[in-house]
Amino acid sequence: MNKKCELIYEGKAKKIFASDDPKTVIIEFKDDATAFNASKKAQFKGKGELNCMISTRIFEYLDKHNIPTHFIKKIDDISIVAHKVKIIPIEVVLRNIAYGSICKQTTIQPGTKFEIPLIDLYLKNDELNDPMLTTDRILLMNLIKTSEIKIFKDLTLRINDILKNFFLAIDLELVDFKLEFGFNQNGDILLADEFSPDNCRLWDLKAKDVKIKSLDKDRFRNDLGDLLEAYSEINTRINNFIGS
């Protein structure tokens, strides 16, 4: 089982294939890197493999902590099998520390730590440049119900609590992250997509140079140094921690 069939969807960093099991899909991680809504692009050989390994480890860890995810198993160096879900077209962004877009859009200073994590919601739509959503707009577009918004917000806060402590144990600070959720065939909401340095900010608490503490895609966005070096360091720390 879990034979890769026709291509269903190709995004910036992943391809999704049908499986010979109609209840599952196969997700293949690409070597592509994009930033600023794909206006900046490059390829890094081995990036897909690193993101596949990191996402696998994170999903396995979340599963052990009773977070419902679409992840089933890793099947090769760049691919995982996942439950087939209907993706909710909303990107959920949680921020523990102010950085990036929120500092450009508000008077909040970079590096400001939030006593209560901030959750922002965005419409998953590249043509509209992923605009920010309000609950009223979500309901007007009939994307999901109020009760369902609460479910994935609560899940996001639980994931944050789990992963903040997880990353702190390997000397990384979880600054912010983006999540996507989907409905399975039973109508349950599952964490979908991936969790990798492509969709979160991780700062190295052991960084010798505070100007280059990013171990995430900011390396590529802001030309801060070797992207693969950063992703490899995260993967090594995760494996050393989980394997210990």
Q: 86-226 has which CATH code?
A: 3.30.470.20
Task: Give the CATH H-level superfamily of domain 4-83.
Answer: Phosphorylase Kinase; domain 1 (3.30.200.20)
- Residue 1's pLDDT is 64
Query: Percent of the chain scored above 70 by pLDDT?
Result: 98
* pLDDT band for position 18 (cuts 50, 70, 90): very high
Q: Is the pLDDT of residue 244 over 60?
A: no
pLDDT tens digits, residue range 133-152? Answer: 999 999 999 999 999 999 99
Instruction: Name the nearest CA neighbour of 5 among 18, 16, 21, 15.
Output: 18
Pairwise CA distance, residues 82 & 167, whole Å: 24
- Residue 2's pLDDT is 74
Instruction: Name the nearest CA neighbour of 203 among 167, 163, 238, 240.
Output: 167
Give pTM, 2 decimals.
0.94
Residue whose entry in the numeric block shows the structure tokens 């899909």 = 25
pLDDT tens digits, residue range 72-113? Answer: 999 999 999 999 999 999 999 999 999 999 999 999 999 999
Reported as type and span, the H/E element at residue 204 is: strand 200-204
Average pLDDT over residues 22-39: 91
Average pLDDT over residues 22-43: 91
Residue whose entry in the numeric block shows the structure tokens 């009760």 = 147
**Structural domain boundaries in the chain:** 4-83, 86-226
pLDDT tens digits, residue range 109-131? Answer: 999 999 999 999 999 998 999 99
